[in-house]
Structures are given as C-alpha cells and as structure tokens.
Chain A
Amino acid sequence: KAGVTQTPRYLIKTRGQQVTLSCSPISGHRSVSWYQQTPGQGLQFLFEYFSETQRNKGNFPGRFSGRQFSNSRSEMNVSTLELGDSALYLCASSLEVWLAGALKGNEQFFGPGTRLTVL
C-alpha cells in the first residue's frame, strides 16, 4: 500500500505570494491532518479534514486554509506569505478505528513533507 505523498517536496516563494501544497493520503484513509514544523515552535497542528469537512483547527491566522476533496486528497493554501511561514509542512492521514462507540486507534501516518522557504 502506497504511503502518504506530498507535492511539491521543496518550494521557494517570496513575501506576499501565496502557495498551495498538496497531500494524497493512504488509500482508504479519510482523515487528513496538516502540521507546521519549525525549529523554534516544533510541531504545530494546523487543521484536520474528514470527508471534505474541517473537523479541527489549530491556532493559526486566516491566511492558512485548506480543503479536502471527495477522494480524500487535501490541499492547504497560505496567502500573503511572511518570512515566518518558512517551515516544513507535514501532512498525515489516519484510519479511524471505532470499538463499542469509542474511537480507539487512529495513529497518523506522515508524508515526507514540503519544505517551504519564504524569501
């Protein structure tokens, strides 16, 4: 089974531009989460999508947005880029496992990430 794929792997943009990153989850996984990883802030949760709906959102400004398509593929968009947006953006997918009405297993499987550099 193919893993989570992210495109592009590397991206260089200038301040004020916008960028769109893409993520294809593992086949059958309907939950897709996005994280920003920086040396100073570590791994920070951006948002999570499930069946084309945003279920959770982290504490990021409105410049960060996302969406999910019917095939579970997801995109995230950052508008009006700032220098501080330079980071590794990670996408993760998970298969929700329910048992007796409770969510049990949902380990996330991560893609290789997109390295965004804002100049």
Chain B
Amino acid sequence: AQSVAQPEDQVNVAEGNPLTVKCTYSVSGNPYLFWYVQYPNRGLQFLLKYITGDNLVKGSYGFEAEFNKSQTSFHLKKPSALVSDSALYFCAVRDDASGSARQLTFGSGTQLTVLP
C-alpha cells in the first residue's frame, strides 16, 4: 500500500523568506511523487513531479522539491516566498510496484500562509 504524510497542517512564513513544506511517503516499489497547489474554490494545479533522475526537481512558479530516498521525503521548497504563494499544498505519491499503480494517494494538505 502507498501512503503520504504531511506533518504540518499550517506553515507560516514571512514574505521574502525561504519556505519549506514537508512530505514523507511510503511505497512498496519506486515512488512517483507530485506536488499540487489549491487556491480557494479552485481545483488542484500541478506544480512538479519526481519520476527518476536528479533528486532536485524544479517546477512552476519558482518552486522546487528535493527527493531523499533514504529519508523517504519529498519536501517542497522556494527560496523567496511571495504573498501570492499562500494556498493549500498537497503532496501525492504513486507506487510503480502495484497493479493499481495509476491511482494517486494524496496527503492531508498543508496550508501555507505568507505574511507581508
């Protein structure tokens, strides 16, 4: 079975400071990892993914994520936060080892608030 944990329900950061949103995962095989962002009353927007290759993945809007296999983590980062980054962030995983590999499992979400 595959699972995702986002240990922080809420993250507050001052504008201009670096931000980190944490994610850890559990899979049987190799993980395919994704980050999505959701603004109020909107659907989820795809930010970035890790399939294979470099552990540092760059995505949309200046976001990046670092894959760490030994720590089973895939933390989302941005060097300098903007007020407009305030939103709900979801980490998701797919396990390539199971027959239901196409199904994504989402974390519980982390509300990011960037303070001006």
A→B interface (CB under 8 Å): 4, 6, 31, 33, 35, 42-43, 45, 48, 50, 55-56, 90, 92, 96, 102-113, 115
A111 CA to B44 CA in the complex, in Å?
7
Interface of B, helix, strand, loop or mixed by DSSP:
loop
Chain B residues within 8 Å of A112, by CB: 41-43
A45 CA to B2 CA in the complex, in Å?
13
Asked if A108 and B46 sit within 8 Å, CB to CB, the answer is: yes
What is the total number of residues of chain B having a CB less than 8 Å from a CB of chain A?
25
Asked if A105 and B51 sit within 8 Å, CB to CB, the answer is: yes
A43 CA to B88 CA in the complex, in Å?
12
Interchain pairs with CB closer than 8 A, number:
61
Which of chain B's residues has its CB closest to A10's CB? Answer: B41
Interface of A, helix, strand, loop or mixed by DSSP:
strand
Q: Contact check: which of A45, A56, A103 meets B96 at CB < 8 Å?
A: A103
Q: Give me the 6 closest cross-chain CB pairs, A-B, nearest first.
A: A110-B43, A43-B106, A110-B44, A112-B43, A56-B103, A42-B108
Chain A residues within 8 Å of B36, by CB: 110
Q: Contact check: which of A55, A56, A90, A107 meets B34 at CB < 8 Å?
A: A107
Q: Any chain A CB within 8 A of the CB of B22?
A: no
Chain B residues within 8 Å of A50, by CB: 102
Asked if B49 and A107 sit within 8 Å, CB to CB, the answer is: yes
A106 CA to B93 CA in the complex, in Å?
11
Q: Contact check: which of A45, A109, A115 meets B105 at CB < 8 Å?
A: A45
Q: Any chain A CB within 8 A of the CB of B11?
A: no
B85-116 residues with Cβ-Cβ distance < 8 A to A are 90, 94, 96, 100-109
Asked if A109 and B46 sit within 8 Å, CB to CB, the answer is: yes
Chain B residues within 8 Å of A111, by CB: 43
Q: Contact check: which of A4, A33, A45, A55 meets B43 at CB < 8 Å?
A: A4
- Beyond the given pairs A33-B104, A109-B46, A110-B36, 18 more chain A to chain B contacts, judged by CB atoms under 8 angstroms and listed by A's residue number, are A6-B43, A42-B106, A42-B107, A42-B108, A43-B109, A45-B103, A45-B104, A48-B103, A55-B102, A56-B100, A90-B44, A92-B43, A104-B52, A107-B46, A107-B49, A110-B43, A111-B43, A113-B42
